[in-house]
Each structure stands twice: as C-alpha cells, then as structure tokens.
Amino acid sequence: MKIGLFIPCYIDAFYPEAGIATLELLEKLGQDVEYPLDQTCCGQPMGNSGCNSDAAAAEALFVRNFAKYDKIVMPSGSCTHHVRDNFDAIPQTDEVRHVRENTYELVEFLHDILKVDAFPWAEFNHTVGLHNSCGTLRALRTASMSELGEKPFSKPMDLLSKVKGIRFVTPKRPDECCGFGGTFSVTEEAVSAKMGVDKVRDHYQAGADYIVSADSSCVMHQQGCAERAGVPIRFIHIAQILNGAAE
Amino acid sequence: MSNKPVNHARAAEHFLEDAPHLQFHDERLWDMRQKRDGQMHMLPEWQDLREEASRIKEHTLSRLPEYLEQFEENAKKNGIHVHWARDGAEHNRIVGEILKAHNARNLIKSKSMVTEECDMRPYLEKQGVTVTETDLGERIQQLDDQLPSHIVVPAVHKLTSDVAKIFAKDYHTDPNIRDPHLLAEAQRQAARPVILHADAGMTGGNFVVAETGTFVVCTNEGNADLSATVPNLHIATIGIERLVPRMADLGVFIRLLSRSALGSPITQYTTHFRGPQKGGEMHVVLVDNGRSARLGMEDFWTSLKCIRCGACMNTCPVYRRSGGLSYGAVYSGPIGAIIDPTFNERKYSTLPYASTLNGSCTNVCPVKINIHEQLYKWRRVLVQHHEMPFVKREIMHMAGKLMGQPKMYRAAIKMTEVSLGSMPRFVLYNWLNPWGKHRENPHPVKQTFNDWYRKNREKAKPAAASETKK
Amino acid sequence: MSAARDEILQALRNNRPTPENHPLPPVRTLGDLDASRERFIASLKILGGDVLEPVEGETLDQAIMRRHPDAKVICSNVPEAKGTLPVEKVKTPQDAATIDVTVVRAPFGIAEMGSIFLSESQLPINSFAHLGQHIVVVLSPDSITANMHTAYQERPEFKSANYGVLMSGPSATADIQGVLIRGAQGVRSLSVWFA
C-alpha cells in the first residue's frame, strides 16, 4: 500500500511539527509514505465560501498529486471532509473518485485501516482535553455526537488511551464548536473569537494542561484566542503525542 | 423595506460587548439544549421519532395540494371559514376585512411567526385596530418595539431589569422590580381586562390535520386558549406547510415539539380546534408567502418540514453569542439563515455565512432538516447570484488561482506577508486584519513542512505536478 | 379569493417533489406503554400539576376548601362537587372570570405527559377552563391512556370535539430571564382528583 501524505497549508506554514510527526508516525508503523512536493490546498476555503468554481484549480492539482496512491492520508479532519463530501468543482472522473474514496484523516486511518493497537514509543505525562473538530465529529464521525444520544465512542480517545502517562479531562461542552469556521474566523471575527475563548477556558477550567486535536486549524484559532486572553494552556496535534512527543 | 444586506457580524459584535446579557443568553439557551438532551436520553425511541416525523412531513409536502384541499373540505364542513393568502399583504387584507365586518377594534393574539412574516400589526393598527400580544415574551417585545429574537422564547435576550423598565413605562410598575414573578403577575393583571373586552382573538397553528380539518396550537401560558375562547371571533393564521395527514401523526410531533424546544415533555396547553365554539365564528387564513416557491427549490424544500421548535437556535454557538436580533429577520438562527434568503436574497445574503457549518443544528432538528448542508448550499447559490461582497469574492478568486499553481504558491508562502497575486496588499490586509482583533496571530516558523521534507527526506526529489501523474 | 386558492394550489402542484418518492409511513405506536396512575402522577408533577388526595373520607368540596382556603367562588360542573356558584350562571365566556376554582371532569388522561383532556362536552363554556384562577380536574384512573400515540389512536374525542385541550399542569412561562413561573395567564394551579 502506497500512501500519499497531504499536509494542509496551515500545518505546512505554521505547524510543521504536526506534519513531521504525522510522517514519522506512519513510517514507524511501517508504512510506505510519500509527500508530493507540489501540493497546495484541497480547495476547502473556496468551497466553504460558496466560491466553488474557484476550488477547481486546487482540486485538479490535488488529484494530479494524489491519484497514483492507494491511500491518501492527512492530519486534518476538515480537509478530509472537503475531499470526501464536497470535492465537486471538477468533473468526477475515475481518478477523482479514486482520490475521494481513498482519502483518510489520520486518526481514522490509524484506527480503522491500520487498526493500530499500541504506540510503545509514546508517553505523555500531562492532563489533556480532547478537541474534536466539527469536521471529524459530525462529518467524519470519528466520535459519538452528544446531540444524537448515541452509544459513546471516540476513535481519537481510543488511540490516545494507548499512550503512557496521559490523563484526560472533559470540558463542560465537549462538542461545542470552537468558532474557527474558515473564513468565518475573519468575517465574523467577534463571534469567532468569543467562541474560541469560551472553548479554551472550558478546557482550562476542566484542568487541562494541553488541548489536543486532530485539526490544526482549530488549534491555530484557539491558540490565538488563549494567548490574547491570557489562558495558560498549551496545544498539540494528536500526531505529535502518538509519535512520542513528551511536550 | 431596505434591501441592504444585514450586517450580522457588526450586530453580533455589539451584542458581545454587553457581558451580563451575553452570558445569560448563552447559558439560558445552552440550558435549554441540555434539557432537550435529557428528554432525548429518556426516550430510547428518539431517533425513530425523528425519522417518522421527517418522513411524514416529506410525504405531506409532496402531496400538499391534496391535503390542503382535504383540510379545507373538512374544516368547512365543521363551520370554519377558510381563506387563502398568496402573500403577507393579502393575508393582512383578509384579516382586516374580517375584523371590519365584525366591527372589531380590539384584537388579542397569541404568538404567530406567520403574522410577524406578514408584518400584520402595523397594518391593523393603521386601520384603527388595537392589537395586543398575549404571550408574555411576545408582549415584552411588542412593548419594546422589537421583533421576537427567538421563535419560542421571544425575549430571551432580555434580563429581568430590562423587562422591569419596559413594564414600568407601560404598566406603571416599579422599574426596580427584580423578581420575575412580580413582573409576570403584572402582565397577568394588565392582560386580563384586555382579554375580557377583546372583540376578536387570533392564534397561529402549529399543526393542521387534513383528515379532520383540525388545527393545533401549543402554548405554555394558555394565552392562545384565552385568545380563542373569550372573544367569539377566532382567526387563525397558518402557513400552508403545517399539515399532517392524520390525527395519529400528532402523536409523533407532539412528543417531539416541546422536548426539542424547551426540554419539557409537552407544552402545558395543546389545543385542538375543529370548529367554532357555541355562538362563535372561526376563520383560518392559509398563507403561502413564498412557501410554494420554496417547495420547488431542490436543495431547500425540506426546510418546509420545520415545526418551529427553535432547537437549532439553542444549540447554535453562533446564535447564542450573537442574539436573534442580529439576524435582522423574522426568523433567526440556523433555520432563519436557510429560510430568510428565500424571502429576499440580497438582504439576507449574509446570513448563511453566520455559521461555522459545525452541524449541531442538523443533529438536534426533530424533523431532520439538513440545516448545515443547506447553509453550505446557500453559499454556492448566493455566489452564483453575485450576492457576495466584491472584496471577498475577489480574494477567493485569487486564492483559488494561486492554489492551482504550486510554484507561485511556494513563493507566496515564503514571503512573510502573503500577498495574493495581483490583489493590492492593503485590501488583503484589511480583509484579514480582523483576525488579530481579539486573537494573536500564529507564530512564524523557521521552515515550512515542505522545506523540512526537501531537506530531510532524500527520496524526495523536486518534481513537477505533471510528473506525479498516474 | 378563489384566485389565490387556485394559484397557490397550482404552484404547489408544479413545484412539489415527486409524490411517489415519499410514501406515507404507517402509524406507529412507539415508546413506553405503561398506562398506570403512578406514571400519570409522576408526569403530572413534572409539569407542575398536583394530585388532590382525600384526607380521612373528605368530600371533594372539603378537599377543595382545604387546598384553596381563600377561594370565594367555586364553580363545579361535576356532580361530585357542589361549589358555591351554580354552573348555570356561567353563560358568556366572560362570566368565568370571577371564578376562583373551577371543577370539571376529564374524559381521559395521558400517562406519558400527565395531561388531562377537556372539550366543550365537559365545559359549560370553553373559557371555563382558563379564566378561573385554579382548576380541579376529576379523573377516573381507569381512563388513563399510555402515551401520545395511544391517545390519538384510541380516543374518539380528538375527532369529535370542536374544542379539545390537553392541559398538562397549570399555565406556565419562563419568558423573563428563564425563571419558571407557574400561573402565567391561565390557571395558577391544576389539581387532579381521582374518582
């Protein structure tokens, strides 16, 4: 199985350590991973804004980059959601369908495809609160949703529970959106920032040292809110913890 | 009516400045959501009920003409006068004429979103009719000359002190009252004589049963019952989408409505009107006002399934932090954001963007409207119809082009301040600037992942996109 | 007027989704089918209603006086209670406004909700159920149906009454700062007397 690694633009530019951890982790798990150098974006910002025709170039490039792989893995729930559910600015050829059907968010790939049962190298002696992005939660369904009253499950929690030393806390509103929302963070700046502050305070008051998430876009926003509001909490991508980061 | 797009973001910013109101609003609505969850957990059949409700509604909408005719026939048989209104103006005219024929000058009414849609109160008042809202929240909003900010709890954005001030002006109560019980009692005492002397009563209708010609009104205060049983003239304004085929279908909807709305098992009053009371007269006005057109919108017709419970508002993190009035429309919150553009695309073009697309609204909807997916689809439609602000549209256009050109994209990333193509820097700067208003910017890094990979993975050879083609 | 009707119906015919894709689901009876008095009472209390329990062989009139000692005008539409105001005196909707306690019999109750049903058959005038300050409802424990599904399927009153109200506890509001207030506009209290 040949894996193509997609690293979303904000991870590339602002959280390269999350990308590196993703790559190293997959390699530790014995996977054959390649990162096509000419990648840019999955098209989500344009798609989510309603400017779907403007997503065409990014989507076409994405397919050119990734069509040759058996599986495409990315450390981002929202990008996976775009590729899987909304990637329709370009004609739906066999290549496009192949890409869409074989794109995985990192957690679901580890949990559902590789079925990883141990991360012997991982130890994280901190108290963490898990932030599920709305993309992973309500689109990819990597965890149970509070609104539906379904039997509780959580793929990211399943994976994190295999890490030595880690302790968990649950915020009061675990499913509440943190307010990033792509361009929403700019066009609805005030509401977005308020949601972000409320989110990080909720985790902090629950006793978390770290907020861990499978989505760096949420983290970028939450970190900015926490720093401005003076909430002393740190942020880390789930790939880093699973790859053995100590802090 | 102004056609100018609603500035939800600015109104929300204003709402956020008032910490006590904001905190109460957020917590009160979140509490309603929590209570709704509590009810759901008590009913193992909850998801079955949602599915049934959705299917019954979709079926009914697909046969709406037949069911409306069936309702009309049965209602007429029972002595109800049935009227049809294409739009708000026609509705108001019909109601005005009925009142005039009875020489009715004092109208009491219970909450009806359709009469808000039709902007009926000012119309009737111009005709010399005094209209008094009898729902406490709606009455507060009427006295304060505001739209309801929530479809179930119209004055949820107000604190006791606000109500005390409003009542002091109109009811001459002490403006310093801080006990809601005293204010509610003041409303009861003020409303009673108005109710007893009213010439006509008006209600909405939550559900309409085709097979019996019945319409159902749900309230907690009993004010619809007072409005309908004290005066001898009862007019009900009802949207044409409110039908269900069978009486038994109500079992599904009544079980869902109040549980979804307030987290209480049922409204205190669930009233079935099938004909006029002894010596009375009953009129039903069936209102279209854009509904028949909406039924033809492939991506949006299922919004007509809505039973107006407000659960999507209660769960919406944006609504809770911006308040219903910030939507500048009769319908606010997620459901408002997908319905309002059907009334006026330009004016409400901003509302589908007042969402993070988080999807919680869809999950709580008792009739399974895919609200967040419709928000997404509305954005596409609005862009196609040129209803997106120019700067944002241009930025997306430039960004989209850039994302298709990896070399230019890499060059742009390398610059500390990304300038997208030919977009003048100050425009982009101004557009992205709000990020930093209440948030720190992300920290700059020494090297991007792309740089790191080039340096640290030998097998990575610079390759053009075309070379990686299958 | 009929132009509006025809136009609306025509637009609906033109615009509707394909009816064949949306069959009517059969009526279902879901949920807890416990029709016990205990379940009814528990539900009634959640919604702020109460049970009027007789103390040592009390009559209904005595129980009402005990529950509502300040009541001056009690008007009963049931043989079990005499009241103070003959029900024949209540002729217009407004006449009910002077009553402190109204007494009626409900043909059935719903265990799931603690609801009681009233229609014009049980009321001298429809406003009778709403304008009085308090209401006492006589209910036979044998006439409790399990839930909303069974109620709508089994009770003929829904299809025969011109006015049929399910009252679930007293009038209530939480419109001022979320504070729950019983006795908003309609009755201030609702008590059930089993008989």
Contact C103, C138 (CB under 8 A): yes
User: How close A84 gets to chain B, by Cα (Å)?
Assistant: 14
- B264 and C47: CB-CB below 8 Å? yes
Place of tokens 């909405």: B204
DSSP output for B130-163: EEEE-SHHHHHHHHTT---SSSSSTTTT--HHHH
Residue B172 covered by a domain: yes
The strand ranges marked E within chain A are: 2-5, 32-34, 71-74, 103-105, 127-131, 167-169, 210-213, 234-237
| Whole-number pLDDT of residue B417 | 44
Phi/psi-derived region of residue B240, left when phi > 0, alpha when psi is between -120 and 50, beta in every other case: alpha
Q: Does B416 contact chain A (CB < 8 Å)?
A: no
Q: Where does a domain end: B367, B388, B409?
A: B388
Do B280 and B378 lie in a common domain? Answer: no
Q: Could you say which residues from 320 to 339 on chain B have a Cβ atom under 8 Å away from some Cβ of chain A?
A: 321-322
DSSP output for B271-313: EEE-SPPTT-EEEEEEE-TTHHHHHT-TTTGGGGG-----HHH
- B463 and A37: CB-CB below 8 Å? yes
Backbone Cα Rg of chain B = 26
Interface TM-score (ipTM) > 0.85: yes
Phi/psi-derived region of residue A130, left when phi > 0, alpha when psi is between -120 and 50, beta in every other case: beta
- B250 and C148: CB-CB below 8 Å? yes
| Whole-number pLDDT of residue B1 | 59
Length of chain A: 247
Q: Which positions in chain A touch B259 (Cβ < 8 Å)?
A: none
Do B401 and B380 lie in a common domain? Answer: no
Q: Which positions in chain B touch C12 (Cβ < 8 Å)?
A: 64-65, 68, 240, 292, 295
Contact B213, B73 (CB under 8 A): yes
For residue B198, the one-letter residue type is A
Kindly report, residue by residue over A19-64, the tens digit of the pLDDT. 999 999 999 999 999 999 999 999 999 999 999 999 999 999 999 9
What does each C-alpha distance from B441 to B62, B110, B425 come to in angstroms? 51, 50, 18
Return the closest-CA partner of residue B250 out of B211, B199, B220.
B211
What value does the mean pLDDT take over residues C128-144?
A: 98
Chain C residue with Cα closest to B262: C174
Structure tokens at B160: 């006791």
Chain B residue with Cα closest to A57: B404
Residue B383 covered by a domain: yes
Backbone Cα Rg of chain A = 17
Going C39 to C44 to C46 to C47, the CA torsion angle's sign is positive
Return the closest-CA partner of residue A242 out of A56, A111, A104.
A111
**In this structure, are strands B207-209 and B243-244 parallel, antiparallel, or unpaired?**
parallel
* CA end-to-end distance (rounded Å), chain B: 56
CATH number at residue B235: 3.40.50.10420
What does each C-alpha distance from C166 to A96, A202, B220, C119, C174 come to in angstroms? 57, 42, 11, 9, 20
**C182: which strand partners?**
C172
Question: How are strands ordered across the β-sheet holding C50-51?
Answer: C50-51, C189-194, C134-139, C101-105, C74-76
Going A137 to A141 to A147 to A151, the CA torsion angle's sign is negative
Residue B401 covered by a domain: yes
- B277 and C176: CB-CB below 8 Å? no
What value does the mean pLDDT take over residues A62-75?
A: 98
Place of tokens 């948030």: B439
Do B303 and B345 lie in a common domain? Answer: yes
| Whole-number pLDDT of residue B202 | 98
Structure tokens at C192: 């059930």
Coil, helix or strand for A54? helix
Average pLDDT, chain C: 97
Do B383 and B415 lie in a common domain? Answer: no
CA A97 to CA A91: how far, in whole Å? 10
Interface partners of chain C (CB pairs < 8 Å, 3 or more) are B
DSSP H or E stretch at residue C178: none
Contact A216, A224 (CB under 8 A): no
User: How close B55 gets to chain C, by Cα (Å)?
Assistant: 7
- C166 and B270: CB-CB below 8 Å? yes
Chain B residue with Cα closest to A138: B359
CA C99 to CA C66: how far, in whole Å? 17
Residue B470 covered by a domain: no
User: Which residue among A23, A41, A189 sits closest to B435, beta carbon to beta carbon?
Assistant: A189
Coil, helix or strand for B379? helix
Contact A19, A31 (CB under 8 A): no
* CA end-to-end distance (rounded Å), chain A: 32
- B61 and C17: CB-CB below 8 Å? yes
User: How close C195 gets to chain B, by Cα (Å)?
Assistant: 23
Return the closest-CA partner of residue B240 out of B291, B301, B283, B274.
B291
Q: Which positions in chain C touch B59 (Cβ < 8 Å)?
A: 22-25
Structure tokens at B305: 């399934």
Interface partners of chain B (CB pairs < 8 Å, 3 or more) are A, C
The strand ranges marked E within C24-171 are: 50-51, 74-76, 101-105, 109-110, 115-119, 134-139, 144-145, 163-167
What letter does residue A83 receive in the DSSP assignment?
Answer: I
User: Which residue among B45, B248, B266 sits closest to C152, beta carbon to beta carbon?
Assistant: B248
Indicate if the pLDDT at residue C76 is higher than 70.
yes
| B233 phi and psi angles, rounded to 5 deg | -110, 120
Q: Which positions in chain B touch A12 (Cβ < 8 Å)?
A: 413, 448-450
Contact A243, A28 (CB under 8 A): yes
Do B159 and B58 lie in a common domain? Answer: yes
Q: Where does a domain end: B258, B289, B320?
A: B289
Chain B residue with Cα closest to C11: B292
Coil, helix or strand for A39? coil
Do B12 and B109 lie in a common domain? Answer: no
Chain C residue with Cα closest to B150: C175
Q: What is the pTM of this model?
A: 0.96
Q: Does B370 contact chain A (CB < 8 Å)?
A: no
- A46 and B450: CB-CB below 8 Å? no
Do B174 and B280 lie in a common domain? Answer: yes
| Chain Cα centroid distance, residue A149 | 24
DSSP H or E stretch at residue C108: none
CA B186 to CA B190: how far, in whole Å? 6
| B446 phi and psi angles, rounded to 5 deg | -70, -45
Q: Which positions in chain B touch A194 (Cβ < 8 Å)?
A: 16, 22, 321, 438
User: Which residue among A40, A50, A147 sits closest to B315, beta carbon to beta carbon?
Assistant: A147
To 5 degrees, how large is the angle CA B398–CA B403–CA B404? 105
- C97 and B271: CB-CB below 8 Å? no
- C165 and B225: CB-CB below 8 Å? yes
Buried-exposed string C76-102: b where 16+ CB fall within 10 A, e elsewhere: bbbeebebbbebeebeebbbbbebbbb
For residue B352, the one-letter residue type is P
- C8 and B301: CB-CB below 8 Å? no
User: How close C72 gets to chain B, by Cα (Å)?
Assistant: 19
User: How close B271 gets to chain C, by Cα (Å)?
Assistant: 4
Q: Where does a domain end: B366, B388, B410?
A: B388
User: How close B180 gets to chain A, by Cα (Å)?
Assistant: 28
Structure tokens at B123: 């119309």
Contact B265, B258 (CB under 8 A): yes
CATH superfamily of C32-194: NagB/RpiA/CoA transferase-like (3.40.50.10420)
Residue B469 covered by a domain: no
Residue B409 covered by a domain: yes
| Whole-number pLDDT of residue B461 | 54
| Chain Cα centroid distance, residue B266 | 21
Do B427 and B382 lie in a common domain? Answer: no
Chain B residue with Cα closest to C22: B59
The Cβ of residue C153 has, within 10 Å, a number of other Cβ atoms equal to 16
Do B284 and B296 lie in a common domain? Answer: no
User: Which residue among B26, B360, B400 sits closest to A54, beta carbon to beta carbon?
Assistant: B400
Show pLDDT as tens, one digit a residue, over chain B (470 residues). Answer: 578 999 999 999 999 999 999 999 999 999 999 999 999 999 999 999 999 999 999 999 999 999 999 999 999 999 999 999 999 999 999 999 999 999 999 999 999 999 999 999 999 999 999 999 999 999 999 999 999 999 999 999 999 999 999 999 999 999 999 999 999 999 999 999 999 999 999 999 999 999 999 999 999 999 999 999 999 999 999 999 999 999 999 999 999 999 999 999 999 999 999 999 999 999 999 999 999 999 999 999 999 999 999 999 999 999 999 999 999 999 999 999 999 999 999 999 999 999 999 999 999 999 999 999 999 999 999 999 999 998 889 989 999 999 999 999 988 877 644 444 445 555 555 666 788 899 998 888 889 999 999 999 865 555 544 444 33
Question: For chain B, what is the largest distance between any 2 Cα atoms, rounded to a whole number of angstroms?
Answer: 93
Helix (H), strand (E), coil (C) string for B69-93: HHHHHHHHHCCEEEEEECCHHHHHH
Q: Could you say which residues from 92 to 151 on chain A have a Cβ atom under 8 Å away from some Cβ of chain B?
A: 95, 134, 137-139, 145-149
Return the closest-CA partner of residue B158 out of B172, B176, B138.
B138
Q: Do chains A and B touch (3 or more CB pairs under 8 A)?
A: yes
User: How close B176 gets to chain A, by Cα (Å)?
Assistant: 31
Question: Which domain, by its residues, includes B404?
Answer: 392-462
Q: Do chains A and C touch (3 or more CB pairs under 8 A)?
A: no
Residue B468 covered by a domain: no
Do B428 and B304 lie in a common domain? Answer: no
What value does the mean pLDDT take over residues A2-16?
A: 95
Contact A68, B465 (CB under 8 A): no
Give the number of domains in chain B: 3
Structure tokens at A227: 């720093």
| Interface-testing mutation among B6, B322, B357, B420, with chain A (most A C-beta atoms within 10 A) | B357
| Whole-number pLDDT of residue B429 | 58
Q: Does B4 contact chain A (CB < 8 Å)?
A: no
DSSP output for C74-103: EEE-STT---SB-GGG--SGGGGGG-SEEE
Q: Does A195 contact chain B (CB < 8 Å)?
A: yes
Coil, helix or strand for B7? coil
| Whole-number pLDDT of residue C121 | 97
CA B314 to CA B448: how far, in whole Å? 41
Q: Where are the domains of chain C?
A: 32-194
Q: Which positions in chain A touch B386 (Cβ < 8 Å)?
A: none
